[in-house]
Structures are given as C-alpha cells and as structure tokens.
Amino acid sequence: MSSPIDPAVLPAFLGAMVLVELTPGPNMGYLAALSAERGRAAGFAAVLGVQLGLLAYLLATLLGLTELMLVWPAAYEALRWAGVAYLLWLAWDAWRGAEAGPDAHVLPPASMARLVWRGFLANVLNPKAALFYVTLLPAFIRPGFAPTGWQIALFGAGHLAVSAAVHGLIVLGAARAGTLASRAAGSVRLRRTMAVGIALIAAWLAWSTRR
C-alpha cells in the first residue's frame, strides 16, 4: 500500500513543526503565565483550548477559508488587532487577580470550561496560526500521493500532536517554576509579573504581524 504522503518530506515537516511551536508567541506566553500562576491543571485546560483552536484552523483550511487572509487584507487586520486586544484583556485580568488566591489551583467545571475557552480564543485570534496553514503547510503537499485534502488533514494532525507535546512541556515547566517563584517572591508579585509579560507579548504580536 502506497504512502498517502511523501515520506521524504517528513523529517523537514517535523523539524519545522518543532521550530514553529518553540518560537515565542501568544500561545506559549499565555500558557506559561497561566501555568505559573494557577498550576498544571489550569495550564492543561488551556492547552485543550489551544488544540481546539488549531483544529478549527485545520478545518477552515480544508474548506478553503483561511485563504481569506491572503485575498482580503481587512480580514487579516481584523484578526490581528482582535488578537492584540484579547491578550491585553488577559493581561489586565491577570493583573486584577480576579481568580487568584489560595484556591486558584482548584478548578471547578465552570472554571475549567472558561480556561478551555480562553485557550481557544488565544489561538483562534492569533494571525500567525492562520498564516501557518496558508503559507507553510502547503509546502509539504506533493502530487502523486493522496488527494490534497487528505494530505492537509494528515499533516495537520501531525502539527496538532507536536503542538500538544510542546505545550504540555511548557505547562509542566512553568507550573514548577511558578511554585518556586511564588515561594520566593509572593503570589501577588508573580501574578503581576506574568500580567506584564502577557502585555509585552501583545505588543510583540502587534509589531511582528504588521504588513
């Protein structure tokens, strides 16, 4: 049985996926800040939301919707500034510490669902996620194998797997670092440091995605 994708491109694809996910960006910054402040359970809830956001972009790519980013500049700009505004709101929410305190690591179902939703929005409102499926993924599609849609689906599934692994490691590392930092500096100082970090990521996103 022939391979549905070109095996020769797999090493380059996996290497590119790891580099993409290790590049600092909104997802990484938000997951690190959240996990450092509220622990692993909160971080993994947000990771689930991020994965659902990636899945949404994969489905949009299969339907040809992500190409709007190329043919309709207004759509790209709207997505870009919505992402910046959302990160700034997350920074303000973290600064206020509305959900902070001794019970911050306790996640009732409502809090879990809210964190999944926030992770989803953090990814869906990231224009770099959309451009990834428009510009990078098609480079690995080869004629003579499975239909284009199937190849996109398989490579997209590979991206989801790599993303989940990298983000999971970020959550574990940030949660551990947050526990140590909280003991040394106090939870309020740590929370506000993370809030400033998210705000800086918002500024970086606005600068790095301009056209």
Helices 187-208 and 148-185 pack at an angle, to 10 degrees, of 140
Judged against a pLDDT cut of 70, whether residue 102 lies above it is answered with: no
Question: What's this model's pTM, rounded to 2 decimal places?
Answer: 0.82
Retrieve residue 68's tokens: 């709007």
Top mean pLDDT of 78-87, 99-108, 161-170, 187-196 is at: 161-170
Helix (H) or strand (E) holding 13: helix 10-22
